[in-house]
Each structure stands twice: as structure tokens, then as C-alpha cells.
Structure 1
Amino acid sequence: MKFKNIIIMSAIIYLFTIFNVAFASETNVSTMMEFYSSSHNKYTNNPYGYEIILPNNLKLNEDIVSVKSRFESDDLVVEILYDNFYNTLDSTTTYNSYGNKGIERNEEFQITDEYNHNFNGIYGHIVLYERRKLKNEESDRNYYATISFSRTSKEVVTIFMKSSQPLYIEYIMQNFKFIEKSGQLKSDVVFEPVKKNFDKKTQEFYDKYFANNEKVDFGIFEPTFPTYAYRLQQLEGIFDYNFPVVLLYNTFSLPYKTDYMNKAKELGKVVEYTLYTTDIVDGKEKDITLDIIEGKYDEYLEQLAQSFNAHDFPVLFRLNNEMNGAWVLYSSYLVGKDTDLYIECWRYIYDKFQDYGVDNLIFVWNPNELSFPNFAYNNYLSYYPGNKYVDIVGLTAYNTGNYYYGEKWRSFSEAYDHFYFDYAARFKHPMMITEYSSSSTGGNKTEWFKDMFNTINKYDRIKLAVLWNGQDYDTSKPNKTVSRNYRLDLDESVIQVIKEGLQKYK
């Protein structure tokens, strides 16, 4: 009898807990988790208009519920994503076709099946795929499924699953249905940085240019630096401005550029060290996210950590920027639609540097201004590695001009308003523009820069902006043809307006 009473009390406590969770959710927000059976719960999202039945051992995360609701256990992840393509060129048809092209382009992933299935009267488009299991990850979730449900030709809800075992979809998701939309979605969490134990020089740099900076300072990318360091010095003379930050790029196919870094330090320049997780394998550039997580590049990371320690000078460490753009090999579009792998790789590198005592790196997390493709699974927020791992939030938007079809001339405000204020509401981190400039094609470049210097101070969270003094080329032409001329030093009127603008911020 005593045992029976314990069972009854446990059941009452469980149902009371479920009721409280459901009641709190229903009164304060418009999503709700409630008891469905001994093994499953029902999750309701009223603003996006769906209900789903999922195993009750999955822990719910709604940190970025505007993008996705995430359910997780050690062996299984289920994410529910909503896409609305109204007022865009996309549709559920292009979503289902184009969305899988990236998987097909990555030899690390294999699509094993694709079909339509009837879930109690609603057809879902299912794609099953997998990759190798990582050797050092016992519960590596390497079996994938996406199930997309079209509400209309312009609306789709996608169930993304990944598991350490082959997926039994019908058990995991016992039911799914659309319901009438109602209410407003709860707010996403606001992310904020964790205080770091930087070395003295790095802390001083961080305090001067970020924590205590009440104005904007400017850095620069000069493609010949530091091989021809005099060119940077010429630019500083032309503009009468000392650029405290210079931008350099590197990949895992190249060693740490000791001479470059030493030259920058000699000139008192902090390097914005941009590193891509790519390598040349069998003569071809390849994303190495999985290999890094698996430990195959530990020796490279150890040497890199030792080099940063020996550098003994602040570094703005920008890892895998523009990750939400399909043009980079480490984008989830090309890596199994799985942003967890990007995050795991970022954290792996961060932790390795911590193990080797690196304390002069300021980690800069830098999405592209727009996501390509603009699908929920590729939303920039899904790539956020966590508060511990990000010191600065980077922004990137160029005025590309109108050389290519579909591009248009944009003012500085038109380029930055649409996402700066979104970032400012979501992050408490200091911000920087990691690289930017204006093309010469499609408008008045001189007036663009004049407007930029008059406008940039309205973005009060931006503390550093790195000008890009280079050119893009049209690779479709037989001869070398400049498509986007971002050079700052070719036109006298542009030079003069940049010089005048920089003086305001000295």
C-alpha cells in the first residue's frame, strides 16, 4: 500500500508539474508543452500554427524560438523551423529542391532516401541522409532526417532530426498537424559576453577600443600588407590617420604567418586574424570541420596556439566569418544543414587555445548581413557558439554597386540599418564592422563616403570599423576585369572625403 501511495503521489506531482509548465506557457507566451502519453509530450506553437508529439525525454530550448524550437537528449536532436516566403522569390518547391543541393555537394554526406509520407492526412517531404561517425564522439549524432510540411505554397514547417542511431521517424514524431495561428511569439533571449582573463596588453586594447570607447576607430585592409608595408604607411600619410588594426586572412592549408604578424606588431598594428577551416586535400579546397572536431588538426592548432603566445600582442581572432553564406565551404548549407557542427568546431578551437594558455585572442563572431539561402536552418542566430566563446559581434555589409544582375547601389544606412538594430537588440557585446567599403559602379562613391562618416556614429555600439582597400574580379571574363572597385586611393575626391571624415574621429 505504501508503494502504491508513492506511485500515486509521483503521478500527481508529475501532472502538477506538466500543468504548471503548460499554464505558465499559455499565460506568458504562446507556446506550450503538455503531457500526451507515458512516453510523449505535445508541443504547441500557436503563432506558427502547429502541434507536434515528441518523446518526453527531450529537453526543450526556446532561446531563439523565433527561428526554431529545439528538443534534445544525449542521442537525439529535433528542431522545428518555420519559413515564410511571402514577398520573396522562394516557395516551398524551391525550398525542397534547392535546399538539398548543398548536401549533395559535400562528399562527407550521403542522401540515403527521399520520399513523401502521409502523416495523418498531411504529406511531409522526407530526406534521409548520414555521414561518418566521428571517432572521438561516442554519441555522435550522424543520422539525419528533414521532414518538410507545406502549409501553403509560401509557408513550410520543417522537422530536422539527427540521432546517434538510425532514425525511426514514426516513433520519434508520433503526430504532426497544422492548427489555426494565434497570439504573438515570445521574445528570444538576449546574449551577453562573459568577462575574460586577457593578458595585460590585450585587456588594455579591449578597454581602449571597445569597453571604454565613446567614438569609432578605423582599421584597414591593404592587400599588399605587410609584404609591402610602405603602402600602408603611404595610405596613413595620405589620410593623415593611424590605423590601429589591419586585416589578414589565412586557412589551415597555410602556416601561421610569422613574418606578417611580426611586421604588424613592429608597426604597432593589431591584426584582425581571419581563419577559415579549409584545407587543400588532393589538390582541392575542402571544408575540414569534421576533421578538426575529430582531432586530426590538433598539431596545427597546437602550433598556432604557440605562435599566438609568442606573438605576445593583442589579436582580433575572426573565425569562419560569413558562415550563413552558401559561398563559404563551412556554411551549414554545405555541411548537412547542421549548424551544431559549426558551433562544435568553434568551441573545439577555442578550448584548445585555452588548454595552451592563449590569453591574447579577442574572439570575433561575424555572420553575413543576409543569409543565403534565406532559410530558417541557415539563420545567423543558429550559428552562435555561446556567450563564453564570443567577445565581439562583427558586422559585414558592402555597397557592392550594381555591376552584377540583381545588385543595387545602397547608402551606408541602407546597408546597415536592417541588421544592426536587430543585432543591437539581441546582443550586449561590443560590435565592430570587420570589413566594408563602397564599389565605384552605380553611384557617387565620394558622396557615399561622406554620408558614411556622417552616419556611422548613429550606430553607437560599433566601436571599430575596418575599411577594405581592394578589388573584386569578374571571373567569367577571359581577361582580368574588375567587377567591384573598392579601392580607397584611386580617386582624388574619394581620398579627400575619407581624409576629412577620419579627422572627425581622431
Structure 2
Amino acid sequence: MPKRWTWVILVVIFLLVLGAGLVFGAKRQYTQPGQPATLMPDATVNIIFGGNAENWKECQNNYDGFSLSYPNDWQQQVIPGVATILAKDGYVKLTIIAQPLGKVSAEEYVLYSNRSLQEGWGGIKLQAQKKLNWRGYSAWQFDWTRPQLAPGDLNYYREYDLVAGKTVYTFMLKSNQTNFPAATNDLSRIILTFKPLPARGAPALPPAPPVQREVNIAGQHHRLNIPADKTLWGILNPHKLGQMQYFDKLLPLEKQLDFKFQFLITYAAFDTRFNQAELQKIYNDNRILMVALQPWWYGKKNDTSLIGLIQGQYDAILREWARQFKSLGDPVFVRFGNEMNGDWSTWSAWYTGKDTDIYKMAWEHVYNLFKAEGAENVIFVFNPHDRSFPSFKWNNYLLYYPGDKTVDWIGLTGYNNGTSHTADVWRDFDTIYDPLYREYLHYFPDKPFMITEFASNEEGGDKAAWIRQCFRHLATRYPNIKIAVWFNQVDGKWLYNLDSSPRSLAAFKEGLQDPHYRFQAVYPR
């Protein structure tokens, strides 16, 4: 070999080694054991790719355990212990998730999480799927597209799932058709800088701050007032959806309990039509209604009507509901797409390629449509389930949150399932609501809360004692919970009904005598 080529080869090797040092040798800081995990501020590092130098930022995520670099003009958002989001408006959004596997294998996690790609739900078209080796990591690659749902919607996807020990690192990128080649090239270069680190976990949340919040909402005909030291009790009682006929079974129950429930709830899907006279009857009797608007058709398996909703296919139905609620003139609570973080809900991101932005687009569509119809009396309630299922990070409720501008109240839902099923666990009231209340107050400190539905099963423990603990602590330990709604029905093996035993019914009746709950909340104006 001529001497000059030997020198050329040596120079190339030197440049490659120098580039690797610049990529992986940037200064990092680690928190010591016992200290809160910290995310270092963005640092600008000089990255060399193919001999071209660029200024990139470094992200070191001590919560989830990794570091990487990304283009200087991208924005960064970190949700501790959940996800890191890198984005550039109109160009790209990259969501990075570090998922500990536990007892689940990497293949089980990846294939379950991406089932919507295999099934083609929501108009998804899988373009490529393969296993590969990436820098020594076993990995999967998925490419897919879906219909564009709005101008500027990013509907071209590439995902890499890298297995490092007992953790899968997911890089899910979305862009548009024009920018997809350049964006995926950026993704490949980002992964070249990726390095797993010891995960510290999300920092401990502070104790819940004291809250003194009075609710005072005026309608045309009624006013809803809940003093700072009180909680309003509501109920979901058996009734016929749409026609409702709430009073047929409600009035006998109220007579038995010696208590009037001034807050009632019902459900609606796209095949539900409300009886306006029944709606008006509720308000004429000095009560307030909450409606769970669920974007599907009852009984339709694997329904992905959420996509059609965003495309405007159900605007006529939504506008009809908005006009009906508007005509009542008084507060109407709407919880759209409740329990979106459960795979039993077909509006979950599990049905739409794990992209929680699709749920947020649907929420915004409904919100804007109701406002366009002048339904200013409608109060929007964001309501996850207290336990995400699956409990994978891509399904965390925070990734579904539409934002403070379109959310009025925060809904809490946590059931004591008892032990009717093998996987069920008995949980007392405080076990469910103490951590949930603290977490929600941390993330949503400016919003009033309500327990939109809850109950205890009869099987597996002392339901009467569960109910007594609930009444003792609800208004005093959790003062930002201004409304609590009991789910008074049998749900399969779960005996949530109040009269599941004489002791349970007696405990509930006794609790309703507490002055924290026994007050007039709905006043005619």
C-alpha cells in the first residue's frame, strides 16, 4: 500500500475517534444516592457527523436513566418518570420513554403496545416492521402512517424500541410526509448519541398543600354553591340511558336514606339521544347533571370512532347535545372520554398507535364545538382512572391532559374492587385517594376536584368500615374534592350497590348525616 494512503487512513481513524469522544464524552453530572433526581439544564455540545460539526443540545434525564443530544432548535419537555418530549413546531415530535420490564418480556411489551399497528385500527397503515441490531442493542423498528386529521397534523411515524438490560427505550417520532425523511435522519443521529444511565426514578411529591376552595357557579335558573368545608354527594343510580327515568328508582332510595342527591350523572355514546323533558325535570327539582360523553357506539368491538370525531363525522350529534345542554341554562358537567388511560376504553391511545395527541385533538374538537354553539354553561371534566391499564408509561394520564385552557375540573376515579376476581385487591379509601389526591394537587393545583364515580365491593373485606372511613376523611383530609359520586350498581361480580348488605346501607345512611355533606347546594335564583 502506498505511504500516502496509510496516512489518509490514519487521519480518518483519528477523526472518527475524536468524533466519538465529542459525542459521548460531554460533561455529565449525577445526583448522589438519597438526593432528589435532577435534570441538568440543556448544554450545547459540538457533535461531529460525517465530518460536519453542528451545535446540539444535551439532555441528561436522571429520572428515567439516559442521556442524548438533539438539534439546537428543538424544544424539550420532561415529565419526570414518564416521558421526555423533543419537538419542533410543524416539523417533528419525538417522545422518548424508558420502560422497566418487570415480569414482562421485551417482545411481549413491544408487540402488545403496538397491536394497533398490526390490526390497522384507526386507519393505521403499517409500512415496515423489522428486528435489528442497533449499536449492540436488540431493537425493533416500526414505520406507519394514518390519515391526516387536521392541517399541520403529523401523521408519519417511525419508532425504535431498544432493549438495554431490563429496560426498553422507545423512541417514537412523528412528522409529516414532506419532512419525514429529514426527521428520521435526525432520529438516527440522535440515537447515535444515546447512552443508558442508572435511573433514579421520579422525585417524591411534596405533601398536599392545604386548600380552601368554595364553589359558586351561577346559571340562569339555579346556583351551585359548595362551601369550602363541605363536599357535595352525588349518585349514579340505575336508569335507562337517554330517557333516563332517573326518578323511578332514585326517589325510593332517597326516602330510605333520608337524603336528597343534588348531583346526578348519566352516560352517552353516539347512539344516545336525550329526552329533553327528563333533562329539564332534573333541574326543575333543584339538581345538577353530569354527562359522561363517550366517543363510541355501545357494543361495537374495537371501535375507533375517535378518529371520525376529529374528522367531523359526528358533529351533528355533538351539536345536538351542546344545544340541549345550553337550553337548560344551568351548569352541566361534561366528562368527555373518561378513563382514557384504560384499554377497555376505545378512545385509549392503545387503539391509535400510542399517540395520546389524538385524544387531545378530539377533546379540543368537542370543546370548540360546544363553545361555537354557545354552551357556556357546560363545565369540562378531565377524568383518568387512578390506575392506568396497561401501566406502561406511554399510557400515563399526564400524556393525555389537554391543557388548563380547556379543562375546568379534574375527575378522580378509584374503586375498591375487593376480591371478586383473581387479580383484584382490597384497597381501603385512604389507600386509594391519599396518593391520588397528593399527585393531582401537584399537577393540577388550580382546579377543583370531584370523584366522578367510585364505590367499594362487598367481597374481600368490611364494606361498612370502608364507607365509614370514606365519610370520616373525605371532606376533612381531601378538601379540594368538592363533589363525590357513588356508583350505585352491580357491575358483574363487583357488588358496588349500596344495599349489598344491611350493614353497608346503614353505614352510608349514617355518613350522610354528617354536616360536611348534609347541606343545600343547588339554589333556585
Question: TM-score if structure 1 supplies the norm length?
Answer: 0.83
Percent identical across equivalent pairs? 29
Q: Is the counterpart of residue 96 in structure 1 residue 110 in structure 2? A: yes
The structure number with the bigger radius of gyration is 2
CA drift at 1:310: 0.8
Given that 1:471 and 1:484 are in contact with CA atoms closer than 8 Å, whether structure 2 keeps it comes out as: yes
- Counterpart of 2:417 (choices 400, 407, 427) is 400
Query: 2:290 corresponds to which residue?
Result: 272
Q: Residue 152 of structure 2 corresponds to which residue in structure 1?
A: 139
**How many Å apart are 1:329 and its aligned residue?**
0.1
SS at match of 2:139: strand
Tell me the alpha carbon deviations over residues 346-383 of structure 1, each in whole angstroms, 9 at most, x when there is no partner: 01111111122211111111100111111111111001
Deviation (angstroms), 1:39: 5.5
Query: In the alignment, residue 168 of structure 2 is paired with which amino acid?
Result: V
Aligned length: 460
Distance 1:315 1:40 in 2: 52
- Deviation at 1:187? 9.4
Please name the residue that 1:9 is paired with: none
The equivalences for 1:66-465 within 5 A come to 66-73=81-88, 74-85=90-101, 88-105=102-119, 106-134=121-149, 137-153=150-166, 155-165=167-177, 166-167=180-181, 169-174=184-189, 175-181=192-198, 200-201=218-219, 205=223, 208-209=225-226, 212-224=227-239, 226-227=244-245, 229-279=247-297, 286-428=303-445, 429-456=447-474, 457-465=476-484
**SS of the residue aligned with 2:350?**
coil
Question: Cα gap change, 1:468/1:40 in structure 2, threshold over 3 Å: closer, same or farther?
Answer: same
Displacement of 1:149: 1.7
Q: Aligned equivalents of 2:327 and 2:27: distance in 1? A: 57
How far has the Cα of 1:337 moved from its partner?
0.3
Letter in structure 2 aligned against 1:81: I
Partner of 2:213: none
Moved more, 348-357 or 484-493: 484-493
Which deviates further from its counterpart, 317-326 or 227-236? 227-236
- With over 3 angstroms needed to count, the CA separation of the structure-2 counterparts of 1:99 and 1:295, relative to structure 1, is same
Q: In the alignment, what sits opposite 2:22?
A: none
1:221 shift after superposition:
0.6
CA distance in 2 between partners of 1:78 and 1:437 (Å)? 39
What are structure 1's unaligned runs of at least 5 residues? 1-21, 191-197, 474-482
* Equivalent residue in structure 1 for 2:497, among 487, 501, 506: 487
Shift of 1:71: 1.6
Change (3 A) 1:409 1:419: same
Q: Which amino acid aligns with 1:408?
A: V
- SS of 1:402's equivalent in the other structure is coil
Q: CA deviation at 1:75?
A: 2.7
Aligned-partner residue type, residue 86 of structure 2: F
In structure 2, distance between residues paired with 1:345 and 1:181: 37
SS for the counterpart of 2:512 is helix
Alpha-carbon spacing, 1:396–1:112, altered in 2? closer, same or farther (3 Å): same
Task: Please report how far the alpha carbon of residue 90 of structure 1 lies from its aligned counterpart in structure 2 after TM superposition.
Answer: 2.9
Q: CA deviation at 1:179?
A: 4.2
- More displaced stretch, 171-180 vs 231-240: 171-180
Measure how far apart 1:82 and its partner are. Answer: 1.7
Name the CA distance, whole Å, in 2 between partners of 1:374 and 1:215.
34
Contact 1:110 1:131 in 2 (8 A): yes
Go from structure 1 to structure 2 and tell me whether the alpha carbon gap of 1:114 and 1:257 turns closer, same or farther (over 3 Å shift).
farther
Counterpart residue type for residue 264 of structure 2: V
Q: 1:470: which partner in 2?
A: 489
CA distance in 2, matches of 1:492, 1:272: 29
Q: 1:344: Cα distance to partner? A: 1.0
- For residues 387 and 182 of structure 1, the distance between their equivalents in structure 2, rounded to whole angstroms, comes to 30
1:333 & 1:202 partners in 2: Cα distance? 41
Give CA deviations for 1:304-348 in whole Å, capped at 9, x if unaligned: 221121111211111111100010000001121000010111011
Change (3 A) 1:172 1:36: farther
Deviates more, 1:47-56 or 1:367-376: 47-56
What is the CA-CA distance between 1:230 and the residue it aligns to? 3.4
The 1:243/1:199 distance shift into structure 2, 3 A limit, reads: closer
What code does the residue aligned with 2:483 have?
L
2:222 and 2:286 in contact (8 A); partners too: no
- The corresponding residue for 1:10 is none
Post-superposition shift, 1:41? 2.0
Change (3 A) 1:307 1:25: farther
**How many Å separate the matches in 2 of 1:270 and 1:318?**
14
- The alignment's C-alpha RMSD in Å is 3.0
Amino acid at match of 2:104: D
Secondary structure of the structure 2 residue equivalent to 1:503: coil
Partner deviation per Cα, 1:249-272 (whole Å, 9 max, x = no partner): 001222344233122112222111
Aligned to 1:435, what secondary structure does the other structure show?
strand
The 8 Å contact of residues 70 and 79 in structure 1, kept in 2 or not, is answered as yes
Partner AA of 1:462 in structure 2:
I
Cα distance change on mapping 1:228 and 1:394 into 2, 3 Å: closer
**For the Cα contact (< 8 Å) 2:141–2:161, is it kept in 1?**
yes
- Paired with 2:511 and 2:274, the residues of 1 have a C-alpha distance of 35
5+ residue gaps, structure 2, are 1-25, 32-37, 48-52, 209-215, 519-525
Deviation at 1:156, TM superposition (A): 2.1
CA distance in 2, matches of 1:36, 1:202: 62
Q: Is 1:57 aligned with 2:76?
A: no
2:218–2:331 CA contact under 8 A, matched in 1: no
Residue-by-residue CA offset, 1:204-261 (whole Å, 9 max, x unaligned): 756x23xx43122210011127425132111111111121111100012223442331
